[in-house]
Amino acid sequence: MAAAEPQWVLMATGRSPTNIAVIKYWGKRDEALILPVNDSISVTLDPDHLSATTTVAASPAFPSDRMWLNGKEIELSGGRFQSCLREIRKRARDVEDKKKGIKIKKEDWEKLHVHIASYNNFPTAAGLASSAAGFACLVFTLGKLMNVNEDYGELSSIARQGSGSACRSIYGGFVKWCMGKNDNGSDSMAVQVVDESHWDELVIIIAVVSSKQKETSSTSGMRDSVETSPLLQYRAQTVVPGRILKMEEAIKNRDFDSFARLTCADSNQFHAVCLDTSPPIFYMNDTSHRIISLVEKWNHAEGTPQVAYTFDAGPNAVLIARNRKTATLLLQKLLYCFPPQDNDLDSYMLGDKSILSDAGLQSVADIEALPAPPEMKMPNQKFKGDVSYFICSRPGAGPKVLTDESHALIDSATGLAKG
Ligand code: ADE
C-alpha cells in the first residue's frame, strides 16, 4: 500500500472445505483449461476440520494484485490465479455499500486491484488437497466481493481453472465433476449428488503418514501417466463410466457395501496407473500398504466392508467408516499399530477429538493397554512414528460467507494481511 491512506477498502471473507475423491481424477485432456479424461466423485469434508478461509479486498489505493497464504506473501504471477481472477472480473457487476459510501460500477472492476489473504486450518504441505479448498474459496469469495450472479455450476467451472479438484469443493456432501465434451471447457463442471445431511453417519479418519520422500507433483505425474500409461486410457474410457453410475447409486441408496468396494477398487486402480507410468510413480509407502492390509483383513473377517480406504497422490490414508461404532473400532486398531511418539494425544488427533473418548482412549496408557488387532501380520510389531497424526472428520457443507468482521484476514485500515 502507498503511504497515503486508502480512500476505502471493500472486503469479503469466505470459507471453503476440501474434498477427497472416491472415484479419482487422474489425467487431463487439456492442460491449460484443466479438462479431465474422466468424471470423478468426491466427498466434501467438514469445513470445521479441513478448510481454507480467504479474505479478498479491493481499493483504488492498491497499485497491484497481491496475495498472502498462511501469513506469508506469495507470487500471484501463476497462470492459475490469473485465470480465476480474470474470469471473475469479467462477470463482476455494480456494487454499492451505502454504509461506507462506496459505489463501484461494473466497468470499474477491470481497473481495481485486489489483495487476497488465505489461511488453511490444516497443514498446507501435508498432501491434503489444500489447493482444492484454496481455489474454491478464492473464486467463491471474489464472486461475492464483485457481486457476481453466476450459479454454482459456473463458479465450479472457474474454480476448476485454478485447480481441477477445486471445482468439487464448491458444493457440500457428495459431488460429481462432469468431465464435459466441449473443447472450451464450458461444460466441465461440478454437480451435487447429495448434500451433507444425506449420509451423515459416515466417519472419515485421515492418517497423515510421515514421509521423507519428495513426491511427484500431481500435475507432472498426471502428464506422465497420460503420455505413457496404456492402463490410463482403458480406465478412463472403459472402467470409470460404469463406476460413476454405480457410485452415484450407492451414495443415493446409502449402500455402504457397494460404496466401499468401489472406493477401494478405484483407489487401487489409480495407483496401478501410477505404476503403469514410465518412469513408475510410487505415491504409497510401507505405512500406506500396512493400513490397506489391516482394513482388507478386517473387512474380509467381518464378511462385509466396515471401512473404505482411498489414497491420493501421496502416502496419506483416507478411511471412511460405515458409522461411529465402526470408526471407534478402527481407531483402536490404528492406534495400536501406530501409537503416538510422545504423551501429547491432543496433537495426535486433530478435527473431531471426541472420537478418542468414544473409543475409550483418554491417555497414552489407554493406547498401550489396547489388545493387538487380530488382522495384524505380526501382532507384536508396532510402528511408532510412522503416522504423524490423525484427523477425524465427516461429510460437510460447501462454501459460505463469513459476515462477522472478526474472521477477516485483511486489516481494513491498512489493506494488508493481518499479522
Ligand atoms: N494452495 C494451498 N492452499 C491454498 C489457499 N488457501 N489458497 C490458495 N492456494 C492454496
pTM of the model: 0.96
- For ligand 1, atom 5, name the residue with the nearest CA: 134
Beta strands 66-69 and 113-120 are: parallel
Tally the C-alpha atoms within 13 A of residue 310's C-alpha that lie toward its C-beta.
25
Cα 257 to ligand 1 centroid, rounded to whole Å: 35
Query: Is the Cβ atom of 117 under 6 angstroms away from ligand 1?
Result: no
**Percent above pLDDT 90 for the chain:** 90
- Name the closest-CA residue to atom 9, ligand 1: 134
Ligand 1 centroid, distance to 240 Cα (angstroms): 29
Query: For residues 218 and 226, what is the distance between their CA atoms, to the nearest angstrom?
Result: 12
> Could you tell me if residue 312 is left (phi over 0), alpha (psi between -120 and 50 degrees) or otherwise beta?
beta
Per-residue pLDDT of the chain (419 residues; tens, 9 = 90+): 444 555 899 999 999 999 999 999 999 999 999 999 999 999 999 999 999 999 999 999 999 999 999 999 999 888 999 999 999 999 999 999 998 899 999 999 999 999 999 999 998 878 888 999 999 999 999 999 999 999 999 999 999 999 999 999 999 999 999 999 999 999 999 999 999 999 999 999 999 998 877 788 999 999 999 999 999 999 999 999 999 999 999 999 999 999 999 999 999 999 999 999 999 999 999 999 999 999 999 999 999 999 999 999 999 999 999 999 999 999 999 999 999 999 899 999 999 999 999 999 999 999 999 999 998 878 888 999 999 999 999 999 999 999 999 999 999 999 999 98
Order of all β-strands in the sheet with 19-23: 19-23, 40-44, 174-178, 189-194
pLDDT of residue 280: 98
Digit-coded pLDDT (tens) for 91-107: 999 999 998 899 999 99
Q: Is 208 in the pocket of ligand 1 (CB under 6 A)?
A: no
**Residue ID of nearest Cα to ligand 1 atom 4:** 134
Give the span between the Cα atoms of 390 and 39, in whole angstroms.
29
**Any atom of ligand 1 within 6 Å of the Cβ of 134:** yes
Q: Closest Cα to atom 2, ligand 1: which residue? A: 131
283-317 per-position pLDDT tens digit? 999 999 999 999 999 999 999 999 999 999 999 99
Please name the residue whose Cα sits nearest to atom 7 of ligand 1: 134
Predicted-complex ipTM score: 0.88
**CB of 131 closer than 6 angstroms to any ligand 1 atom:** yes
Query: Quick one: pLDDT at residue 1?
Result: 47
Instruction: Answer whether 52 contacts ligand 1 (Cβ < 6 A).
Output: yes
